[in-house]
Structure 1
Amino acid sequence: MATTAAGSVTRADLADAVHREIGLSRTESAQLVEQVLDRISDALIAGGNIKISSFGSFVLRSKGLRVGRNPKTGVEVPIEPRTVLTFRPSQLLREAINK
């Protein structure tokens, strides 16, 4: 799969890879990629986690109220509770990256 100049893989890159590897039309490939990404997004929005075997897990974490500091002025400000999305690569992906 080709990547852009910055090294990122785009939706268009994914759709093109599906088109080449599976042989679906470009339109069908783009729709398939959109459906997969929509399913992942919907599960995360609903508060679920995503686990893709041999790839990794997308996990939602709740962060509580904490105190932050403006680095310029040193003034303390409260940082509101929020939910953050983290990615944990599988052991197989970690090993492949570190080869």
Structure 2
Amino acid sequence: MAKPMTKAQLVAAIADDAGTDKKTAAASLEALLAIITKEVSAGGAVTLPGVGKIYCRERPERMVRNPATGEQIKKESDKVVKMTIAKALKDSVNG
């Protein structure tokens, strides 16, 4: 498995593909991440065409087991961020 792309590598790739400098590419990436964070935190969803959909889902209250002691404890309801991968991306990986 290949190593994941770092933020610096991603910024450099965006700058290269867009034909701009790294400072502009970094600002664009930060703005995109801020928008996604704000929208998903508010309970919305963001669709990135060709990549997938990022959304927040609420998990109900449930019983869980402490792995150290084996004791059953009640876990309060919480929210979790999910992502559904787009069919186009799945096909490009498997094709």
TM-score past 0.5 threshold: yes
Deviations 1:65-94 (A, max 9, x none): 100111232211111100001111011111
List aligned pairs for 1:46-65, cutoff 5 A: 46-65=42-61
Q: What residue ranges of structure 1 are gaps of 5+ in the alignment?
A: none
Q: What residue ranges of structure 2 are gaps of 5+ in the alignment?
A: none
2:62 is the alignment partner of 1:66: yes
TM-score (norm 2): 0.88
2:43 & 2:81 partners in 1: Cα distance? 10
Per-residue deviation, 1:96 = 1.5
Secondary structure (helix, strand or coil) at the match of 2:43 reads: coil
1:69 & 1:35 partners in 2: Cα distance? 40
List aligned pairs for 1:4-83, cutoff 5 A: 7-83=3-79
Amino acid at match of 1:19: A
1:37 & 1:74 partners in 2: Cα distance? 39
1:86 & 1:15 partners in 2: Cα distance? 24
Amino acid at match of 1:85: V
Q: CA RMSD in A?
A: 1.7
User: Percent identity between the aligned chains?
Assistant: 26
Contact 1:68 1:76 in 2 (8 A): yes
1:97 & 1:35 partners in 2: Cα distance? 28
Q: Runs of at least 4 residues of structure 1 off by over 3 A?
A: none
Work out the number of aligned pairs and report it: 95
